Amino acid sequence: MPITLKDIAKVCNVSYSTVSRAINNKNIRPSAKMDEIRETAKALGYSPNVLAVQLVKRRTKIIGLIIPDIANPHYSEITKCVEDAALERGYQVFLCNSDWNIAKEKRYRDLLIEHRVAGMVVMPVSDESHILFRNLDIPIVLLGSRTKERSLNTVVMDNHQAAFLATEYLIKKGCTKLAYIGRRIENYTSSDRIRGYKSALQAYGIADQAASLINSDSFQLEGGYTATKKLLRQPNRLNGIIAFNDFIAIGAMQAVEEEGYIVGSDIAIIGFDNVLYSALPKISLTTVTPSNEELAKKAVAIIISYVEENEKEVQHLLLPPKLIFRSTC
């Protein structure tokens, strides 16, 4: 059994409250006795029972992180950033993998509440799952997705601006016939990017018939691949593709190459999210993304502001997008 305060107290012939004070430096003056207590604590290998501490203090230093798929590099990178940001502030991360499963997400939500976490950072499975996190009297931060109800804190990239930037970049690179490949889903991420795409078209006076909006069957490689194949069979070949995400973009690259065009010079392609694959020399996809570090830092900061500074206001943060220039444009 682990050593407790009482064990140390017995050895040092003091009460265990004195030991507690010695270890937490709650004494005004340092003294020989205090030193002695600290030394025997170390000698006995004392390790404070965080469970007891948290129980009596009625707060934990744990942040729950709910993400859809830790094996996906996009999420694992964010996880790393959240972990780093938490550690920096003295907090730990309780990892929850919802597996794109809303039932699991709910289960984890309850579990985290039972564990009395300081707060939760959530990348929800879908927009419907947002309601799971309302009225929880634990601070919640939605990461990377906006929501209709304004009661939840959000930290997201400015997707409108991001898509605008991406489209503008292609136009400035000389692209005259553009296509946006994505999924038409009732979802802020999607609709913001589409809006951004459209306002860039307008801002640069690109005619409607020179800019299409194509549906992808999935968010994966295949979706981008088949959509692009279809696009390339149409007359009046396009020369710029904005893909909803990097996977779709990589699928598009494959299709473009198969059809005998050269990615970058014949057809420029830009994606979103800066997935790990995109950096591979063989792929080298130009993409736009928020800084994950920023995203994570802000999210953690919001939670801590609630529990430590007694913040009450709901926060909605829009982070500026960042273009990552590589070889597909």
Q: How far is the CB of 59 from DNA (least distance, A)?
A: 10
187 binds DNA (CB under 7 A): no
Return d(Cα 232, Cα 240) in angstroms, integer.
11
Min dist CB 310 to DNA, Å, is 16
The DSSP code for 89 is T
Between residue 56 and residue 95, which ones bind DNA under the rule CB under 7 A?
56-58
> 27 or 215, CB closer to DNA?
27
Q: Is 92 in the site for a second copy (CB under 8 A)?
A: yes
Helix (H) or strand (E) run with residue 66 in it = strand 62-67
Q: Which of 32, 71, 207, 262 binds a second copy (CB under 8 A)?
A: 71
Q: Copy the structure tokens of residue 262.
A: 């050269």
Residue 18 burial (CB count, 10 A): 19
Q: Which does 26 bind (CB under 5 to 8 A by kind): DNA, a second copy, none?
A: DNA
Q: How far is the CB of 95 from a second copy (least distance, A)?
A: 4
Q: Please answer whether residues 274 and 287 qualify as being in contact, where contact means their C-beta atoms are separated by less than 8 angstroms.
A: yes
Q: What are phi and psi of 40, to 5 degrees?
A: -65, -35
> What are the structure tokens assigned to 175, written together?
């692209």
Looking at 54, 291, 305, 315, which residue binds a second copy (CB under 8 A)? 54
- By the 8 A CB rule, do 255 and 266 touch? no
Per CB under 8 A, contacts with a second copy among 205-264 are 221, 254
Per CB under 7 A, does 15 bind DNA?
yes
Q: Report the distance separating Cα 304 and Cα 87, nearest Å.
A: 12
Handedness of CA 89, 91, 97, 102 (dihedral sign): negative
Contacted entry of DNA, a second copy, none for residue 43, CB cut-off 5 to 8 Å set by kind:
none
Shortest distance (Å) from residue 50 CB to a second copy: 5
Q: Which of 145, 140, 229, 242 is nearest to 200 (CA)?
A: 242
Q: Is 265 in the site for DNA (CB under 7 A)?
A: no
Q: Residue 39 is encoded by which pair of tokens?
A: 């030394």
- Chain residues in the site for DNA (CB under 7 A): 1-2, 4-6, 13-18, 20-21, 23-24, 26-29, 31, 33-34, 46-49, 52-53, 55-58
- Chain residues in the site for a second copy (CB under 8 A): 2, 47-52, 54-55, 60, 65, 69-73, 76-77, 79-80, 83-84, 92-97, 110-111, 113-116, 221, 254, 276-277, 280-283
